[in-house]
A and B are shown apart, each in its own frame.
Chain A
């Protein structure tokens, strides 16, 4: 039994190229997830782990076990690509790229995480531009 995840994607609509989540993720990120020893280094060092429903090492575990519900995890959107996990991983697995691969699987189905319309005028005027470009790159397909 997997954890309850927050997202409300209909996983049946997410068609994976080779039917397997793992294959698609590995193709997108070029990382070998099976090298993972489940040591938890990535999770312990993640600045956003407290807010995540699945910790980064659990994300890897879910992919290995081909649990597509990982795509409904809040975790992949909380990752800000700070590369701390990738820097420290003893197995040299770039978890940052794995997170990006999961986001891309969704975004490439034209499913946006962020609704641009919800951004207020005030936010547009005060927040640095670079934040918006990043957000759109990360959350909008």
Chain B
């Protein structure tokens, strides 16, 4: 199956490893990720004021491109892109007048007809591939790894665009179980990592990373699995910096779910892309004997 893939800014820069591993597992599963033509930035955060249509333009334009390319579904890897595209899609569906205004504003583009469905890659794995199928393909089960799934905000809230329950999501723990890992639950799994405050409020974000991770450590967790590139950066990099703030604190390694799937499916390590991580993710995998390198 061909998947129309919308990358977004970060997937082409600091989260190339997320893209790389996702592409590899898609291929292994018999699907082809095809990058959308002419894609533009989605704006990352959805516009939240009622009178502001301008900021819906960027996401909408991408939806038009998808329609132009004859597709019905866009697959995204970035949580924030997924959220923003979905929110715009929702808004123009809820308020047809807004769609009309936006359509008339876009001179060069075709009108958006509202046919596009946006899908998070995780959603795709759950709903189209199914974790049961995935489980059967596992070659290196993540045996002995105690992993805390971390969801963050954007795949769960607002409810209208969520891919799982806002308070008790299970998609990542179901995936982890399929991969053979032990799941460590954490009430902070749905709390914000600090998001863009990572630029101006570094300590604040380090505190967040510490709070989220420390509970997991306390419960015997030895790694974190997540999806969003900004969450990855905050937990990994700012989390590492938190070691300087909190005594005896040691940040856990952070994995994208795509990386862990790639490991579990026994894909070539060149697809893992662990080099960009600050807290060494390889060490644990070796220690647990999941893979030898």
Contact = CB atoms under 8 A, between A and B. Distances in A.
So, do A and B actually touch in the complex, CB under 8 Å?
A: yes
Interface of A: 27-30, 47-48, 51, 78, 80-84, 86-87, 94, 96-97, 100-101, 104, 114, 119, 123, 126-135, 137-138
B49 A130 contact: no
A82 B196 CA distance: 11
Contacts of A101: 48-49
The 8 closest A-B pairs by CB, nearest first: A83-B157, A100-B48, A134-B196, A82-B192, A129-B9, A80-B195, A133-B44, A82-B153
Interface of A is mostly: helix
B192 A128 contact: no
B133 interface: no
Q: Is the interface of B mostly helix, strand, loop or mixed?
A: loop
B159 A137 contact: no
For chain B, which range describes its interface: under 10, 10 to 19, 20 to 34, or 35 or more residues?
35 or more
Given A96-B48, A128-B229, 7 more contacts: A51-B204, A78-B204, A81-B45, A126-B14, A130-B230, A133-B9, A135-B199
Contacts of A94: 158
A30 B10 contact: no
Given A87-B158, A128-B10, A128-B15, A29 B50 contact: yes
A79 to B, nearest CB: 10
Contacts of B292: none
Contacts of B10: 128-130
Nearest to B15: A128
B49 A104 contact: yes
A101 B48 CA distance: 8
A135 B205 CA distance: 14
Given A129-B9, A135-B200, A87 B159 contact: yes
Given A28-B51, A29-B49, A84-B153, A131 B237 contact: no
